[in-house]
């Protein structure tokens, strides 16, 4: 079945450092890919998405490119801030016809001043 694999955390960075969180997926057909972010004590919220190969999703300085050849959707940010500290989830939505999301295990990011 469909699945998502994320790099294990926690990831600890200093402010203004470069961030990469790796995400790879297994799916039949042409899934849509998402990154969700969970700030402490809150629910998940959509960070960015990409719906077809070579699409780049971007939001709040974060970017991810849908790479079908490597089945990857890595999250990047050029300069992280303390306020980016959160748990990041990669997810896919299969082409099965309804809205089920398959999530990765999540990667906790801690940014220090």
The least distance separating another protein from the CB of residue 19, rounded to whole angstroms, comes to: 19
The least distance separating another protein from the CB of residue 79, rounded to whole angstroms, comes to: 26
- The yes or no reply on residue 42 touching another protein (CB under 8 A) is yes
Q: 17 or 71, CB closer to another protein?
A: 71
DSSP 8-state class, residue 72? B
For residues 26 and 92, the answer to whether their CB atoms sit within 8 Å is no
Angle in degrees, CA 31, 35, 40, rounded to 5: 145
- The yes or no reply on residue 29 touching another protein (CB under 8 A) is no
Instruction: Please give the Cα distance from 16 to 84 (Å, whole number).
Output: 11
Instruction: Please confirm whether the linkage preceding 10 is cis (ω < 30° from 0).
Output: yes
Instruction: Please give the Cα distance from 41 to 76 (Å, whole number).
Output: 24
Q: Which stretch binds another protein (CB under 8 A): 10-18, 19-27, 69-77, 104-112?
A: 104-112
Query: Which member of 10, 15, 26, 46 binds another protein (CB under 8 A)?
Result: 46
For another protein, the binding residues (CB under 8 A) are 4, 6, 32, 36, 41-46, 49, 51, 89, 93, 95, 98-101, 103-106
């Amino acid at each position: 079945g469909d699945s998502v694999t994320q790099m294990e955390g926690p990831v600890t960075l200093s402010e203004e450092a470069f961030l990469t969180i790796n995400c790879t997926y297994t799916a039949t057909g042409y899934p849509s890919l998402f990154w969700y972010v969970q700030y402490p004590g809150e629910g998940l919220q959509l960070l960015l998405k990409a719906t077809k190969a070579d699409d780049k999703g971007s939001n709040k300085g974060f970017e991810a490119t849908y790479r079908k050849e490597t089945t990857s959707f890595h999250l990047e940010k050029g300069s992280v801030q303390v306020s980016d500290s959160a748990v990041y989830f990669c997810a896919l939505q299969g082409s099965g016809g309804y809205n089920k999301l398959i999530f990765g295990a999540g990667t906790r990011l801690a940014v220090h001043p």
